[in-house]
């Protein structure tokens, strides 16, 4: 950080949070739809996952330094949910281009406001059960990222050999940053086979990649110019036309950018990547089975609404609206009723719900998506 920046205030005066809220959440169908994706559901704790994401950064970043990127179908809902965030900073992406173009768009906006701006990228649809530990890890990552050229990942301490997550291999030795440890990242592995995941967890040299990143905005843009020059040029054209404030230019130019994740576009290619090893009670809530694990249960292990009866039934997850749900003699099922659709599946098969949504789309059932 420059001496001028230090004289203007503390490090955290230059931190901006960019919340990625454009996902469709197909694995939580039929409750999650395009017009009400997972991040707008109140499955855990009453408030939506998006609101919980914003609440977690309070005390570090004020609302005027928070940006939310969403799709046009849900932006109006998010504006109502987040009255403290300036409306112009809840941005409707004109097309889904994955995370790299969105992050680049946000970096140009932040750099135009603050040449010392540090940006923290956070998904909107995760559960974090230790918000205090999360804030400490986030602050440690921001402190480390103040140096130009550094890129930081908030890595998650694995709790088991999950095959659906990306893994980060750590180099040593660790650097102590307050109560947090920061490691050099050696490489990335995307969704390994079970045998490899078991070896990774046993070695204690790997973290899960939860999609939470921190850089100076200037560092991010310099890396884009080096490794994704066509994208950087397209983003510069958007910035020159007025950035997020020129909706006409955004709608015309943003869809022309390559559809690629920030992981593939940059993180797996650049030098100087570090990881904060975070124990924050994290879950990406990637299926109804995970939602079951995170929910309160009755004496028979059922997750169910008040207007339901479970006779000789164990280990089920029931989600319903106005109907009275009754189960008899069934175990380990997910049953979700939304009036126009009914899902019944084995709890251990709930990761396949996304495939069912793909089949509905193939059949042209747009009213159910």
Label residue 177 by pLDDT band (50, 70, 90). confident
Share of the chain above pLDDT 70, in %: 97
**Average predicted confidence (pLDDT) for the chain:** 93
Lowest mean pLDDT across 23-37, 167-181, 197-211, 318-332: 167-181
Average pLDDT on 46-64 reads 94
Q: Identify the pLDDT of residue 349.
A: 95
Mean pLDDT, range 37-43, rounded to an integer: 90
**What percent of the chain stands above pLDDT 90?**
86
Residue 319: which pLDDT band, with cuts at 50, 70 and 90? Answer: very high
Q: Look at residue 176 in the predicted model and tell me its pLDDT.
A: 80
Confidence band for 5, pLDDT divided at 50, 70 and 90: very low
Identify the architecture of domain 3-283 in CATH. Alpha-Beta Complex (3.90)
Band (pLDDT 50/70/90 cuts) for residue 174 is confident
Per-residue pLDDT at 46: 79
Residue 271 is predicted with a pLDDT of 87
Within the chain, all domains assigned CATH 3.90.550.10 are found at: 3-283
**Between 332 and 46, the higher pLDDT residue:** 332
Does the pLDDT value for residue 338 go beyond 70?
yes
Q: What is the model's pLDDT at position 301?
A: 98
pTM: 0.92
Task: Check residue 77 and give its pLDDT.
Answer: 95
Q: List pLDDT tens digits, range 268-286.
A: 999 889 999 999 999 999 8
Question: Per-residue pLDDT for 7 more than 50?
Answer: no
- Residue 43: pLDDT band by 50, 70, 90 thresholds? confident
Which three-class secondary structure string do you get for the chain? CCHHHHHHCCHHHHEEEEEECCCCCHHHCCCCECCECHHHCCCCCCCCHHHHHHHHCCCCCCHHHEEEEEECCCHHHHHHHCCCCCHHHEEEECCCCCHHHHHHHHHHHHHHHCCCCEEEEEECCCEECCHHHHHHHHHHHHHHCCCCCCEEEEEECCCCCCCCCEEEEEEEEEEEECCEEEEEEEEEEECCCHHHHHHHHHHCCEEEEEEEEEEEHHHHHHHHHHHCHHHHHHHHHHHHCCHHHCHHHHHHHHHHCCCCCHHHHHHCCCCCEEEEEECCCEECCCCHHHHHHHCCCCCCCCECCCCEEEECCECCEEECCCCCEEEECCECEEEEECCCCEEEEEHHHHHHHHHHHHHHHHCCCHHHC
- pLDDT value of position 180: 86
At 9, is the pLDDT very low, low, confident or very high (cuts 50, 70, 90)? low
- Which candidate, 16, 21, 19, places its Cα nearest to that of 111? 16
């Amino acid at each position: 950080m420059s001496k001028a920046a230090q004289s203007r205030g503390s490090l955290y005066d230059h931190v901006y949070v960019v919340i990625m809220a454009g996902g469709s959440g197909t694995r939580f169908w039929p409750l999650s739809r395009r017009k009400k994706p997972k991040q707008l559901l109140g499955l855990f704790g009453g408030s939506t996952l998006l609101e919980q994401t914003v609440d977690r950064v309070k005390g570090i970043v004020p609302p005027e330094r928070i940006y939310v990127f969403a799709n046009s179908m849900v932006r109006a809902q998010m504006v109502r949910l987040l009255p403290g965030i300036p409306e112009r900073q809840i941005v409707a992406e004109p097309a889904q281009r994955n995370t790299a173009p969105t992050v680049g768009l946000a970096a140009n906006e932040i750099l135009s406001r603050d040449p010392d701006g540090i940006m923290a990228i956070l998904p909107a649809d995760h559960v974090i059960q230790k918000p205090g530990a999360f804030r400490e890890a986030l602050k440690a990552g921001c402190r480390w990222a103040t140096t130009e050229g550094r890129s930081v990942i908030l890595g998650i301490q694995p709790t088991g050999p999950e095959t659906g997550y990306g893994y980060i291999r750590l180099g040593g030795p660790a650097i102590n940053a307050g109560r947090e440890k920061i490691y050099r990242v050696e490489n990335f592995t995307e969704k390994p086979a079970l045998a490899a995941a078991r070896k990774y967890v046993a070695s204690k040299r790997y973290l899960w990649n939860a999609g939470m990143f921190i850089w100076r905005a200037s560092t991010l843009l310099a890396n884009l110019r080096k490794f994704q020059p066509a994208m950087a040029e397209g983003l510069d054209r958007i910035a020159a036309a007025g950035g997020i404030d020129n909706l006409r230019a955004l709608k015309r130019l943003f869809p022309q950018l390559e559809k690629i994740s920030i992981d593939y576009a940059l993180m797996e290619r650049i030098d100087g990547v570090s990881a904060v090893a975070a124990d924050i009670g994290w879950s990406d809530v990637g299926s109804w089975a995970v939602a079951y694990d995170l929910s309160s249960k009755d004496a028979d292990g059922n997750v169910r609404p008040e207007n339901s009866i479970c006779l000789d039934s164990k280990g089920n997850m029931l989600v319903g609206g106005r109907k009275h749900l009754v189960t008899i003699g069934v175990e380990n099922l997910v049953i979700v009723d939304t009036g126009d659709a009914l899902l019944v599946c084995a709890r251990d098969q709930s990761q396949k719900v996304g495939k069912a949504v793909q089949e509905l789309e193939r059949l042209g059932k747009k009213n159910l998506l």
